[in-house]
């Protein structure tokens, strides 16, 4: 009478994670928020360390990938890793307090234990970009996913040629990572910042990000066809304008990379919340080249 035996699919020891293991589905690393910096009124930079040292050292990610951050009992959400890949499981996440979970997170003290799973998704091909000029274009929170490839590039500065960062924000008080601008410039990076609305202290240019980009493209003789890569991150409306300008300047579309935002509930290609058409942003993205973006309906 026991012909149908119970088949247990999970091994007894829920060890860790390979993508193909059934135990990787609900596995999260225990991590600790080691410090919190307030960057603006709404954004904070969280330094998060995986508690177990072996797991921490084994944790590797590529620039552009994201993690699912879990606050037990509160919620879970996807966040781009904003720190250098060489720092393994000592990661930095820059998070705007805007939803239930992120507002709760903005109030927790350092030392709080959180869950981290991942890394998930595709990355910016920083190695393929070597020996080229780089255009990093960010609008608003878009600077956050862009910071990981930026760190990679800074750590290998000799392998890249001219690097431009064009960063736009609504107003000066919303600029992120202001304390690092000096350092970036010391690495021989042209950092141009533009705001929509200036305040009394603002010395820089006022307007849209496309104005700076236009000057940069003109300086290159309206021809970006050779040896240039671009990374574009920002609000959906920005992609159209910026990417069109780059295409018009003859930058091949497979050399333009974007990072897309979508709602996600699993990060593992199951819940379908992040689907664009039927492309899972969590598996095939968040980093797409512009050809893939054009090839997907309703992507931007």
Partner 1 sequence: MLFKVFPRNELETLYDVLAGYHLVGPQVRAKDRGGQDIFAFDYIHSFAELRLDFTSTVHSLKRFLLPPRENLSSFNLDNSGWEKNVDLGIYKPHVFFGLHPCDINALNKLDKVLTGSVYPDPFYTGKRKNMFIIGVNCSPQPWCFCKSMGTDTVLSGFDMFLTDLGDKYFVEIQSAIAYDILMELPIAEPTETDHRRFVELMDERNSKFSCQVDNSDLTKILDLEFQSPVWQEWGKKCMSCGTCANVCPTCYCYGVKEYVDLDLAGATKQRHLYSCNLIDFAMVSGGHNFRPESSDRLKYRYYHKHRGFQEAYEESLCVGCGRCGQACLAGITVPDVIDSVRRQEVSK
Shortest distance in whole angstroms from residue 271 CB to partner 1: 5
Looking at residues 203 to 242 of the shown chain, list those that interact with partner 1 (rule: CB under 8 A): 236
Beta bridge partners of 96: 43
DSSP state of 195: E
Measured CA angle at 69 (ends 81, 256), to 5 deg: 30
The answer to the question of residue 53 lying near partner 1 (CB under 8 A) is no
Q: Does 262 bind partner 1 (CB under 8 A)?
A: yes
φ, ψ of residue 296 in degrees (nearest 5):
-105, 140
Examine residue 107 and tell whether it contacts partner 1 (CB under 8 A). no
Structure tokens at 239: 């992609």
Q: Segment 152-181, which members bind partner 1 (CB under 8 A)?
A: none
- Tokens linked to 283: 């598996």
**Tally of helices (H runs) and strands (E runs) in the chain:** 8, 14
Stretch binding partner 1 (CB under 8 A), from 153-161, 215-223, 249-257, 278-286: 278-286
The residues with which 38 forms a beta bridge, in sequence order, are: 44
Binding region for partner 1 (CB under 8 A) out of 82-90, 212-220, 223-231, 277-285 = 277-285
Find the binder of partner 1 among 132, 190, 250, 275 (CB under 8 A): 275
Q: Are 212 and 166 in contact (CB under 8 A)?
A: yes
N- to C-terminal Cα separation, the chain: 58
Binding to partner 1 (CB under 8 A) within 10-39 occurs at 10, 14, 19-26, 28, 30
| Residues engaged in binding partner 1 (CB under 8 A) | 1, 3-10, 14, 19-26, 28, 30, 70-77, 96, 98-99, 102, 113, 115, 236, 261-263, 265-266, 268-273, 275, 277-279, 283, 297-298
């Amino acid at each position: 009478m026991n012909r149908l035996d119970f088949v247990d699919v999970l091994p007894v020891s829920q060890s860790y994670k390979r993508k193909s293991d059934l135990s990787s589905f609900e596995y999260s690393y225990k991590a600790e928020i080691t410090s919190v910096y307030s960057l603006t009124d709404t954004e904070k930079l969280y330094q998060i360390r995986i508690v177990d040292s072996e797991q921490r050292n084994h944790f590797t990610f590529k620039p552009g990938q994201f993690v699912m951050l879990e606050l037990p009992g509160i919620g879970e959400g996807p966040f781009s890793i904003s720190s250098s890949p060489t720092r393994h499981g000592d990661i930095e996440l820059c998070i705007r307090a805007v939803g239930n979970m992120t507002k709760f997170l903005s109030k927790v003290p350092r030392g709080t234990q959180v869950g981290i799973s991942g890394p998930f998704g595709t990355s910016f091909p920083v190695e393929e970009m070597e020996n080229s000029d780089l255009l990093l274009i960010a609008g608003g929170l878009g600077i956050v996913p862009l910071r990981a490839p930026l760190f990679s590039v800074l750590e290998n500065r000799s392998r890249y040629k001219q690097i431009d960062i064009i960063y736009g924000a609504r107003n000066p008080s919303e600029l992120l990572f202001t304390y690092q601008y000096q350092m970036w410039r010391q690495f021989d990076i042209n950092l141009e910042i533009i705001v929509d609305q200036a305040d009394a202290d603002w010395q820089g240019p006022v307007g849209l990000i496309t104005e700076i980009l236009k000057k940069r493209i003109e300086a290159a003789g309206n021809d970006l066809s050779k040896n240039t890569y671009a990374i574009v991150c920002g609000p959906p409306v920005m992609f159209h304008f910026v990417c069109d300008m780059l295409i018009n300047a003859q930058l091949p579309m497979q050399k333009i990379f974007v990072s897309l935002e979508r709602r996600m509930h699993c990060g593992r290609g199951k819940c379908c919340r992040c689907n664009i058409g039927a492309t899972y942003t969590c598996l095939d993205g968040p980093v797409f080249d512009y050809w893939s973006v054009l090839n997907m309906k309703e992507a931007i």
